[in-house]
Structure formats: C-alpha cells, structure tokens
Chain A
C-alpha cells in the first residue's frame, strides 16, 4: 500500500507547518484512506554539522588505526576548554573530541556529528564514552548509521558534505543535520480500497488531504509542459485479438524516446530520498525517474533500452507455452490470457519484452551503459493485469496500480514528465515526435443526480452548495440537468463513479460521515424468535443443566474417519461434500455426522488432562446430493426466475442442524455422598430424551445395530411425525470398543446424535391439557417374566393398552434375572397407578383392569405374571 512522505505530500497540497504524521493519518482516515502504518522520524536529538579542525592518526595494538579528532560543532555545542587529563589534538579552542575509525575525510571537511543525546535508527542512543584511551564526545556518522543506506557514489566511510549522500549539501558547524539530510521526514502508509486507484499516487492522496482539511491543492498534472510533438515515435501496434470480457487489453500506448542520456548520471539526492521514504530502492537515474513519476502521478512507466528494441512494439496476447524471463530472474510459462509487450526482433511480435502492466523482461532492460531509451506509458485493462499478476504471483508496483485503474489521461503527461526529469538530470534529448497509439476513452455520459438524492440516502438536508461543491471538488463537471437534477460528469481518474449512489457517497464523505445523525428506525414489529430458534436454546440449556459442556469443532474431516467409525462400505454417511481447495489436503471433506468431529474434540480434552468427558455440540452436518452436482449461476442483473432459484437450491447438499454428545468416564468428581456413577449408555438415551423434552417432543427408542456404536448397546431415536408415521432421527448408545480405543476414550464412553431440526418439527404446536381427576388413586404392581429379547417398551405398551384409560401411569421399577426366573428369561416389575375420571374405582373395576393387563401382556409378548 502506498507510503506517503509528508514532505512529498506537501509539494501538492498545503500542509500546515509542523503537521504530524498522526494528524495527517487521522485527516485522511476521515475520508476513507485508512492508516496502515506510521513511520516516524528515524533520527532525533542533536545531530549537527561539524568541521574537522585537527585529526591525529593513532595506531592501535590490534592493528587498526583510529583518528583522534577535534571537531567544531558550533558555538552552541562546543566545549570551551579541553579536558586537561585528555587534551584534544592541536591548539586548544572551543570544540569536541571524537574518536573515529573511518579514514575518508581530512581536516577541514564538514561532517555529520551525532552528539550525546542523539538517537539513531534502531533506537541507538549516543553518549560520551571512553574508547581507545580517549573520551569520544559523540560520533561522526556514516550513511548506514543514519539509515540512508550505502553511499550512492560507492565511497566507504563517513558522510562528508558535498559528496555521496550529502552531494550538493553545504552547511556551517552547528547546523541541524536532521533537516539538512531530510531525516525528519515522517511517512504515512495508507490503505487504498479497490475503488480508489487514483490514491495510489501522491497526486491522489494530496487531493484527498485537501478534501479532508480544505488545504489548497495543485494538481501536479497541470504543471507538466506537453510540447507540440509530431507523431512518428517508436512504432507500436495494439493487436489484442482475444480481449477479456470484451475489453481491449491495451487501450492506449504512449512511446517516447530520449536519446543521449549520460549512463553515469546520478539520481539526485532528493529523488533517491523520496523513493527510499516511499519504500522503493534507488537503482539508476532512468529507473528511479520512472518510479518517481509513477509514485507521484500514479502512471506506471517502463523504460526500454532503445538500442535493443526492434520496432514495431506489438501488444498482443501470449500463445500457450511461450516463456519469458522477467526482471526478477524467473522464467515464467505464459498463459494465453496474459497480455504481452513484444517487439519485432525475429519477426513482428516475435520477441517478448514483458507482461503488460506487470513486469518487464531482461532482453531490453536498461543497463549501466544505456543512453538511448524508449519510455512506455500505457493504459491496460485492470482485469487483464489483475489476472496475470495473480497467475504469476507478481504483485508489482505497476500491477497494483493497473488493477485498480489508472487515469487514462495520464500516459502522455507521465511520459513527458519522466523524459523531462531524465533530460534534466542525465542530459539527453527528448525526441521531437511521440507515439500515442490507441486513445483515452471518451468521457462517460453524465450521471443524472436529483438534488435531493443525497438527503434521501444519507438523511442529512445537504444544501445545493454542499452537493454541487463536493462533486466539483473531487473533479466532476457539474451541469444543471432537467427538473431539479444535476448532470454530473466524473473526472477521468474516477471510473468508480457510475451511479448516483456513488455520487451520494462522495457528497457524504466530503461533508463528513461524522455529521450523520443517529436515528433508530422503527421496524413494523417482528414475530420474535421462531419456534425452532427458541427450541434450540432450550435443548442447549437442557444439556448444559444435565452436566454437559457445549463445544465447537471444525467441520473438516478426512476420509479415514469413516473407517475409524466403522461405517460399512455402502453407508450413506460416506457421501460427503468434498472441497475443491481444502485448508488441509488430508481433510478435504465436510462432516456428514457431528460425531466425526466431536470425538476428536473429546480426545483433545482428555489429552489436555480431563479425566472424563461430557461434551455436546449443536452444529451442521451435510450429505452430498450427488458427486459433481453444480449450482447454476444466473445473471445477477435481475431477480432470477423461480425455476432458476429452485435449480440453485436443489443443487445444494442436504444440510441439517444436529445435536451430538459424547459422555464417558466418571459423571462427577469423587464425593462424600457415595460412589460416583460413570456415564453410560443409559445416560446417552436419557440425554436424548431430555433434549427432546426440552423442545416439547418425545422420542421412541428401538434396539438397532449401527456404527459407531456397540452392536448390543445402541438404539434408534424415533419421532412421530404429524401424520403419525415413525421416523428415525438419530441414534444413541455405547460406542463400539474399537471406537473407544481409536479415540483414547474412557471405557464404555457413550454418545448420541440426532437431527435437531426434525426433532423440533415433531413437537406439537400446542400442548393440549389433560384432565386432573381428584378421585382416589389405586396402586397396582405387576412383575412379568418374558424372554430376554423382549423389549421392556413392548411390555409397557401392552400394559397400557390392556388397562386402557384407567392407567394413569405405568413405570418399570425393576429388572431381575436369575435362576428363579429361568435361563433366557427376565422379570420386569411395573408400578401402575389407576385412576378414573368418573368416580372412585371399585374393587371389581380394579380387578378387571388387572385381568386385562395380564391378558394383554400375555397376548402381546407372551409375558407371564410372576408368582
């Protein structure tokens, strides 16, 4: 994201004296340029110019020679007298004594001195210190030490005014060297949203700053002189035969030659400093100028060595398989969608020069001997550049700008600006003719904006002056339209402004989002939470109250989980939705059952020191409808037809909100109240029933064999739907010992999983009251002996049916097996409460009920009343 040095910003807009980076960032943020980072001044304290008065070379035992130097650092900083125990070299006069290891300076040179109290980059605080037998009262600085990097002229050692880093600089002892070297510059890095490509430049950010603060603004474009030039520069052909989405890859290509540039010419210090502050590395005058102009105006430029280019330059799409070695030394295989700059070495468009708007190639790169250049300033299709940059993972400074859109009016201006800077600092002559292939698009037709539209959308009664003024300030042409509307033509750098709402945003942000009042709207009144939403809360709370802890888990699973859970080969739970780009290659599937991800969470908790597990999750599970299902993607220009929508919805996987729980180990801490029961299979069913009760539904349980459960200790959970049919909505029971082992769970860990949506749907909408008779109750107990495999629920059902309406409550209170009962048999004892709604039951009525009960159990399950 662009870094904005405040001094550069101040070239285009009036920055108040002493403006801080923080304040500038705050101002810009108000208009939508969010602060990414602030780079403060790198040097603080007394960094001053000093004159070397005397210099004595003192050889050391370690073989080095150091300089013991008397430096005049100005009357304000000089010590009046030498330390008598450690006199400085030469005649005594006001000065400071400094030890220096560098040798690229002599007496009389002006150098940069960091006096005690200075803080250099890297939080390096300077203090007087004893070294090599003297007290060094400061430090003479190199470019590296000041964060300026290596000396541009290759000199090794400290900075001497007039050379290298300090080329062209002069001063007097005591002068502030921070200002002199531009080390006080603060830099703001801003985040540019994709719609504001123009802010990828000093030009654009300065404009925004002036909008935010009202500071005067000068568009740097208006200060560039464009000479009258004839056509006929380097020949360029725009030959995009396969435009992407119907847009020409290159709509405009300006080529301008500069001949006779001094290859040894240096980048001026101020420009190198600008580039460094903006985060770019100075390289050579020609390259630095193209970068500088790009940073300043926003137009990416490319310089070719004119002697290596064979005209015509051809802009075309790549052919599959073509290869290009880019400036970063990587050979890239191109895609047919890549837009290329080529020249005609070996035939028209035969040689590849670069990927348009992304990165150049080596063949025509400017070098240390280049003196004739061709400058390219073009307008490339944002989509084409974005795709190429993404494809080749090349987010270059150029591509970042082209992707967001570059002002199509810039190419000629930028090319001349760069040519003029190169000629100014490197000599050479700008060609009298220029190539301007293609053209800038014609301005879009004006947007019709009703004067009251901003108020309609924002809720502030903007004055006509605010509406018109805001639009004019951002560069729009505003004409009066028909019937209280404005005809607004956005400037060339604002391709994002296409509808009236876009203009409203501009008005709102220029006047200020902070002026928008706060007004809570009155909704017409909703229906509250849906039954399902309420019921989910109830189920959640019921399990929490029962001692379970709700957890979350990621829905991603590996194929191996199905085997780990012992699913049969044809188990439908293997039909998982597969991800195209999973986060982990070994977990490409979406869970088809919550237990698939809940069991690993159970294992994790046990691994972290839990001694038992009692967890649950409410989450979604999905089943693929069919491999390779595709959801249509109709146009979004209008509402799709119902058929199109049905097509979309029908393709989506089956998804449901499930409830699952895993319980194992002790159900509580050791207690003085007695032994703590371990969680077991019965708890799994009880928890399922609790959840069902919490949502107002009821479950029926039937014995079943089902993975991942113990074959003899699992059951189906069934509901009765409104039409009276019984449907399986889940399972519960003890986990198969192999599964318990696989997940390192406590022995006999049990689990449940059910379709919560189906459960909630099965609950009655209205719970109808039952009469509460006050006649006396009669209590009867029965014990029936039945075969081992007869479910207790069947016996209970027979009792209920046998007794009929008089049965108020039937409850199994004991199960007994043993020799008295007989092999393969069990005794089930029930307590039955009888009550009539019509009167006190007579002994005869009770007796008859008993007889009916016994007969019914006998007939239904062959149960015998125990003697």
Chain B
C-alpha cells in the first residue's frame, strides 16, 4: 500500500534523529531521468509484411482464359493446401507476388493493343481479386486456429485451491445485531448505545425497580467493589433507554443493542454475558397496538414469512401494562397459523407452537418521570429481546457456549452472513 503523501507531509514535524547537515554530495540516481520533452520511445509496428521483390522479372505470360485460369487454379490449390500461416505466406508470394503469373500478366496489360486492354484487365483483375479473397479468408482461418492452439496449450486446472490467505469471518452475533439494527433504522428509529459498567441508578432506580427487587441481589447482579459503589455491570440495556430520554427527551424512537451481564453460571442455555436489544418508543398517543405492530414487523424481518405474535400478561417494574411476547414457531407446522397444531417434537418451540421472546409493555409513568419525560403528555412502549436466543432459534445453534467461548470454527462457518 502506498503511503498517502498528505500524511507523510504531516510527519515532518516529528522527524526522528536529525543528522547534521553536511555539504551537498553529488550522487546519481538509481534510474536515469527520462527527458520528458522527448517523445516517448514508441514501439513502431510495421503495418504490412514486406515482401521480398524477386530480382528477375519473368517473361510476360499469355493473357488468356486458359493461362490465367490455370494460374488461379494453382493459387487456390496452394492456398487450400497451406496448413499454417507461414505456408500461406509462401503461397501468397508464389501466386500473387511480383514474380507470379498473375502479377506478370497484370504488368503486361499496359503493353497490349488498346482493344484488348479492357478484356485482359477485367480477366486479370477479377482473377487476382478472387485469389486475394481466398488468401484473406484462409489467413483468418489459420490465424484463429493457431491462436486457439496456443491458448489450449496454456490450459490450467481451475479447480486448484486458491486460498492462499483465506477470508476470515465476523461473529454471527455481530452480523445478527447489525441486521437487527438495520431493521430499526429502516422503520425510522435510531440506535442508541451506552457503557457496560453502569450506575445502579440508571440500571435499577430509574427503571422503577424497588430497593428490595430480587434482581438487585448479588445472586443476580454483578456489582463493582466496594459494597455500595452504586455501580454494576448492566443487567439489561434499559439504562441506555434512560440515557436516551435524559439526553434527547421525547418524542423518541430508539433501539438499544448491547452486551449485558448476569451472575449466571455458564451452561448450554445460560451465560453470564449475553446480548440484548431493547426498543423504546415515546411519543404522543402511542398504544399497546403500536407495540404489537412493531413486534410483528420485527418478527417478519428476522424470521421471515407472515409472523404471528402474541402477548401474555406479565409483570415488570418498568412497564405497566406488562406482557411477555411470544412468536409463533417458525419451524414446525404451527407456523401455518393458530389453527395448525405444533409438532410435539419440534426442537424450536418444544411442541407448544410458541417461542418466548422477552418482556415488553407500556413504559411505567415512574420511569418517564425519572427520565424527565412528562407522563401526562407522552406515553410509549418498550421491549427487550435476547440476541443469542434469536440466533439459537433462527440459526439452530444448540449450545450457548459455542457463541461465547471464542472458538473460531463457530464464526468461520458463517463468514460474514447469517
């Protein structure tokens, strides 16, 4: 890669060891300068192949049908017999070159009586034309064949492996997260982000979690030392929602993807570190119907088809009303509709026909107040989805550990697409 000059120019101020300036020394360049005023040395190609002139001029032949016809026949036979362009060149010299019968006849026309000139000219001209035409055709034919043979000789085995330095891969969670972000950007939302080491106030208090809420226990949440630091590893990306409301106010439509932590031991379905995307929409007049509409659109984008979603009542401190969202199984018969039974052995839905996707609801007025949004004027909805869970369901990942242990084989399989 060539170093861009403007960068190098900037480096000048930071030059390394500066040697004492000595007297200018004569030196000659490694390559001589080319005088630019001179025309470039062009490789002149000859347009025509020089044909050697014969030193002796043969006697003029008789210009009659028989003689000329014989010459033509001989020429055509020689042309047809030429197997290479080199042989053809020889045939050209012999039959239409200066020493040939036809050329000699042509030269002789001028010496003929006036009344014979026209007929002889016509005869010789047409004959020579015929030969020339055959020559050209044969030349083209032979040249093409020769080129073909030359290329054939260069044949390689195109099935050889070409992976001198194989392409790498992005982690499928990254790619999926990008895809999710693109969905939200597509419906006019923005992507908001925040830090993973977060304040307790933003992660819990502002989200209406009572001081006694079990999720605050050290069995569930990883805290920063010392005790009472007021800081923790965020357990959800909801604090980003609070940050967004505090910074931007309403109306607000944001999706908040990111890494979150829980005090869980790692197993096939749990990891102390995982990824979430939460959505938050705050505006005038937003309802649960808008929440359903957003989830439906999301499900269609991520899982394809015509999705069926359902909400079930649930309880979260930060939403009221609250719901658990289920997506209709996209793998088994259940995907055809509510009147189709799930496959009892379906690996994706476990035979229930439904997949639990996460919590959602209408943002609790206490949360709006804590984030400086007037709940009398604005209302909205929020939801949270696990990205690992989506990947496990969508792409049939069987074990959570594959996603977090950093085994390159897991990522490599996907390349940069999921």
If the complex has contacts A513-B312, A797-B15, are A521 and B294 also in contact, measured as CB distance less than 8 A?
yes
B residues within 8 A CB of A617?
Answer: 406
| A801 → chain B closest CB, angstroms | 5
Q: Complex Cα distance A847/B202, Å? A: 68
Which 8 residue pairs across A and B have the least CB separation, nearest first?
A: A862-B19, A32-B313, A459-B287, A865-B27, A459-B289, A505-B321, A523-B188, A639-B372
If the complex has contacts A628-B226, A651-B199, A796-B3, are A518 and B289 also in contact, measured as CB distance less than 8 A?
yes
If the complex has contacts A551-B406, A590-B197, are A516 and B288 also in contact, measured as CB distance less than 8 A?
yes
Contact present for A604 and B404 (CB under 8 Å)? no
A508 within 8 A of B: yes
Contact present for B196 and A620 (CB under 8 Å)? yes
Most buried by A among B4, B30, B185, B259: B30
B residues within 8 A CB of A104?
Answer: none
Contact present for B165 and A667 (CB under 8 Å)? yes
Contact present for A458 and B288 (CB under 8 Å)? yes
Surface stretch bound by B, among A67-75, A148-156, A356-364, A776-784: A776-784
Q: Please, how many residues of chain A have a CB less than 8 angstroms from a CB on the other chain? A: 161
Contact present for B369 and A863 (CB under 8 Å)? no
A818 within 8 A of B: no
A residues within 8 A CB of B195?
Answer: 620, 652, 655
| A236 → chain B closest CB, angstroms | 27
Other than the known A526-B190, A636-B208, A780-B31, what 9 A-B pairs have Cβ atoms closer than 8 Å?
A: A505-B320, A519-B287, A525-B188, A540-B174, A580-B225, A631-B230, A672-B160, A862-B18, A865-B29
B393 within 8 A of A: no
If the complex has contacts A524-B188, A547-B168, A651-B199, are A457 and B11 also in contact, measured as CB distance less than 8 A?
no
Which residues of B (323-370) have their CB < 8 Å from a CB of A?
Answer: 323-324, 362, 364-366, 369-370
Contact present for A776 and B231 (CB under 8 Å)? no
A128 within 8 A of B: no
B residues within 8 A CB of A330?
Answer: none
Most buried by B among A523, A525, A782: A523
Q: Complex Cα distance A552/B175, Å? A: 13
A residues within 8 A CB of B226?
Answer: 580, 628
B290 within 8 A of A: yes
Closest to B324 in A: A34
If the complex has contacts A523-B189, A524-B253, A789-B17, are A645 and B246 also in contact, measured as CB distance less than 8 A?
yes
Q: What are the interface flags for A568-596 relative to B under an 8 Å C-beta threshold, 1 for contact and 0 otherwise?
A: 00000000011111110000101000000
B24 within 8 A of A: yes
A122 within 8 A of B: no
B9 within 8 A of A: yes
B residues within 8 A CB of A789?
Answer: 17
Q: Please, how many residues of chain B have a CB less than 8 angstroms from a CB on the other chain? A: 134
B residues within 8 A CB of A726?
Answer: 14
Q: Complex Cα distance A582/B290, Å? A: 40
B173 within 8 A of A: yes
Contact present for A634 and B292 (CB under 8 Å)? no
B52 within 8 A of A: no
B residues within 8 A CB of A720?
Answer: 10
B267 within 8 A of A: no
Most buried by A among B169, B191, B206, B297: B169
B281 within 8 A of A: yes
| A751 → chain B closest CB, angstroms | 15
A141 within 8 A of B: no
A545 within 8 A of B: yes
B residues within 8 A CB of A649?
Answer: 199
If the complex has contacts A547-B167, A860-B15, are A516 and B289 also in contact, measured as CB distance less than 8 A?
yes
Contact present for B173 and A809 (CB under 8 Å)? no
A residues within 8 A CB of B148?
Answer: none
B34 within 8 A of A: yes
A residues within 8 A CB of B253?
Answer: 521, 523-524, 526
Q: Which of B30, B166, B289, B369 contacts A866 (CB 8 A)?
A: B30
A170 within 8 A of B: no
Contact present for A577 and B174 (CB under 8 Å)? no
Q: Complex Cα distance A797/B315, Å? A: 65
Contact present for B166 and A807 (CB under 8 Å)? no
Contact present for B30 and A513 (CB under 8 Å)? no
A residues within 8 A CB of B22?
Answer: 858, 862
Q: Complex Cα distance A846/B407, Å? A: 56
Q: Which of B197, B281, B411 contacts A653 (CB 8 A)?
A: B197
A residues within 8 A CB of B273?
Answer: 552, 554-555
Q: Complex Cα distance A580/B205, Å? A: 19
A residues within 8 A CB of B20?
Answer: 862
Contact present for B404 and A554 (CB under 8 Å)? yes
If the complex has contacts A521-B281, A787-B17, are A458 and B2 also in contact, measured as CB distance less than 8 A?
no
Contact present for B288 and A543 (CB under 8 Å)? no
B81 within 8 A of A: no
B322 within 8 A of A: yes
Q: Complex Cα distance A577/B246, Å? A: 26
Closest to B368 in A: A639
Q: Complex Cα distance A519/B104, Å? A: 96
Q: Which of B21, B218, B365 contacts A499 (CB 8 A)?
A: B365
Closest to B21 in A: A859
If the complex has contacts A459-B288, A551-B171, are A858 and B412 also in contact, measured as CB distance less than 8 A?
no
A643 within 8 A of B: no
Instruction: Show 18 A/B contacts (Cβ-Cβ < 8 Å), sorted by A.
Output: A34-B314, A516-B292, A523-B281, A540-B174, A541-B416, A551-B171, A551-B408, A577-B197, A579-B225, A601-B406, A620-B195, A637-B369, A669-B163, A781-B31, A797-B15, A800-B8, A843-B36, A864-B27
Which residues of B (201-246) have their CB < 8 Å from a CB of A?
Answer: 201-202, 205-206, 208, 211-212, 214, 217-218, 222-231, 233, 246
Task: Tally inter-chain residue pairs, CB-CB below 8 A.
Answer: 417
Q: Complex Cα distance A30/B34, Å? A: 87
If the complex has contacts A634-B201, A652-B197, are A581 and B218 also in contact, measured as CB distance less than 8 A?
yes
Q: What is B's interface to A at a CB cutoff of 8 Å?
A: 1-5, 7-12, 14-22, 24-25, 27-31, 33-37, 160-161, 163-171, 173-174, 178, 181, 185, 187-191, 193, 195-202, 205-206, 208, 211-212, 214, 217-218, 222-231, 233, 246, 251, 253, 259, 263, 265, 272-273, 281, 283, 285-290, 292-294, 296-297, 309-315, 320-324, 362, 364-366, 369-372, 379, 403-409, 411-412, 415-416
If the complex has contacts A537-B178, A581-B263, are A780 and B196 also in contact, measured as CB distance less than 8 A?
no
Q: Complex Cα distance A513/B291, Å? A: 12
Which residues of A (458-516) have their CB < 8 Å from a CB of B?
Answer: 458-460, 499, 501-502, 504-505, 508-509, 513-514, 516
Contact present for A782 and B29 (CB under 8 Å)? yes
Q: Complex Cα distance A632/B407, Å? A: 40
Contact present for A794 and B188 (CB under 8 Å)? no
A residues within 8 A CB of B187?
Answer: 520, 523
Contact present for A513 and B408 (CB under 8 Å)? no
Q: Which of B14, B21, B190, B227 contacts A527 (CB 8 A)?
A: B190
A739 within 8 A of B: no
A102 within 8 A of B: no
Q: Complex Cα distance A36/B128, Å? A: 102
Contact present for A698 and B263 (CB under 8 Å)? no
A421 within 8 A of B: no
A196 within 8 A of B: yes
Closest to A540 in B: B170
Contact present for B5 and A638 (CB under 8 Å)? no
If the complex has contacts A504-B321, A700-B11, A854-B27, are A583 and B286 also in contact, measured as CB distance less than 8 A?
no
Contact present for A779 and B31 (CB under 8 Å)? yes
Q: Complex Cα distance A332/B329, Å? A: 49
Contact present for A698 and B4 (CB under 8 Å)? yes
Closest to A600 in B: B406
| A38 → chain B closest CB, angstroms | 11
A223 within 8 A of B: no
Closest to A509 in B: B313
Surface stretch bound by B, among A365-373, A407-415, A607-615: A607-615
Contact present for A513 and B196 (CB under 8 Å)? no
Closest to A460 in B: B289
Q: Complex Cα distance A459/B321, Å? A: 12
Q: Complex Cα distance A648/B229, Å? A: 11
